[in-house]
Amino acid sequence: MEKISMENLGRMSVPDFKSRPKLPLVLVLDSVRSGLNVGSIFRTADAFALERILLCGITAQHPHREILKTALGSTDSVDWEYFPHASEAVRQLKNEGYEVFAIEQTSQKIWLQDFAPQNEKKYAFVLGNEVEGVDNETLALCDGALEIPQFGTKHSLNVAVAAGIVTWEFVRAMKE
């Protein structure tokens, strides 16, 4: 087994990436306090060619040194927009025809593995603050909540890790 060199990976240019079709998924970051997490989520959005990211509340915005550390240039390829409140972003997405799901532990949830996205629909996932989760006002506007099954003692994941898991599961489910 041999690692593939950077030259042989066949990475596309930023202009080519921006012009290609995107996965119908938007990530909404609701007051994510760590710029390192934000940068990691940009990398995930680039890796899976997501439509865009909406940064809300106290979420750091590009250019920010912590975002730059982990984004590794993906802030140039992934479209993003800022909203003072995540509830505003969710209202706009719903007006644009998106189904919006909080990634949160709630009494009424869909287990992530049971979520069955439909190819003709557009979706948005709201990821919350590292301590408080998704804001209650924003949560009330969502069409539902998706929960990642966990089996340890902490019952929480780093927000950037959660973004990677839910994005991959969405990609996998869309290809079925």
CATH number of the domain to which 151 belongs: 3.40.1280.10
Could you tell me if residue 4 is inside a domain? Answer: no
Q: Which domain holds residue 163?
A: 19-175
* pLDDT reported for residue 146: 98
Which tokens hold the place of 22?
């995107």
Could you tell me if residue 2 is inside a domain? Answer: no
- Residue with tokens 């189904």, as numbered in its chain: 99
Torsion sign (Cα): 155, 159, 160, 162: positive
pTM summary value: 0.95
Mean pLDDT for all residues in the chain: 95
* pLDDT reported for residue 30: 98
* pLDDT reported for residue 23: 95
Over the stretch 77-87, which tens digit does the pLDDT of each residue have?
A: 999 999 999 99
Q: How many domains in the chain?
A: 1
Could you tell me if residue 11 is inside a domain? Answer: no
